[in-house]
Amino acid sequence: MANSKVKRFEMLVELAQDELDKAQETFIAVRQQLESSQEQLDSLQDYHTNHLSKIHNEKEVTTAQLQTTQAFIDNVNKAILSQKDQITQLTHVLEKAQETWIEKRARHQSLKNIHLKLKRDERVKLDKQEQKMLDELASQQFFYSKSSE
């Protein structure tokens, strides 16, 4: 019976490891998405800054150019705001993924510790049984050798 309990816990540890692996993969994927989004935001902000400085450096700007540039800058600003919103959302998703990963890691470690304790207890029990059998065998051999004398 105890051996089947050890086997059941072994299965639970394996399942917990699978869940932990999936949680870790999710965490890594979301973190990479967040890093990519941050890089895109940085690029948009650099582009915005460079474009504005280019316009400021021009000596003569027509009204049409100014209107076109303003419309373009507005679009870039919208893209920057959208990117910031995406980063905020991904940050929340990343925090949740990290919490899930921490929970799965703690569960896996707990189950692993219980499994190891069960295995140790089973080993101690088997060692005691083996020692008892050896003691009984030695005792029987002793009495057998005494009775045959």
Q: What is the pLDDT of residues 62-71, one digit of tens each?
A: 888 888 888 9
Sign of the dihedral through C-alpha 22, 27, 32, 37? positive
Q: Give the number of other Cβ atoms within 10 Å of residue 16's Cβ.
A: 20
Integer Cα distance of 90 and 29 in angstroms: 11
User: What angle do helix axes 63-147 and 2-57 make, rounded to 10 degrees?
Assistant: 160
**With 0-12 CB in 10 A as exposed, 13-18 as middle and 19+ as buried, what is 115?**
buried
Distances (CA, A) of 10 to 5, 17, 57, 63, 87: 8, 11, 70, 75, 40
Q: For the whole prediction, is pTM greater than 0.85?
A: no
Domain residues for 131? 2-147
Q: Of residues 16 and 127, which shows the higher confidence score?
A: 16
Q: Which two tokens stand for residue 24?
A: 């870790």
Return the H-helix or E-strand segment holding 58.
Answer: none
Counted domains in the chain: 1
- CATH number for the domain harbouring residue 130: 1.10.287.1700
Q: Which residues contact 64 (CB under 8 A, 6 or more apart)?
A: none
Tell me the pLDDT tens digit for each residue of 83-127: 999 999 999 999 999 999 999 999 999 999 999 999 999 999 888
User: Which of 77-81, 96-100, 122-126, 145-149 shows the lowest mean pLDDT across its residues?
Assistant: 145-149
Please identify which residue in the block is written with the tokens 């140790």.
120
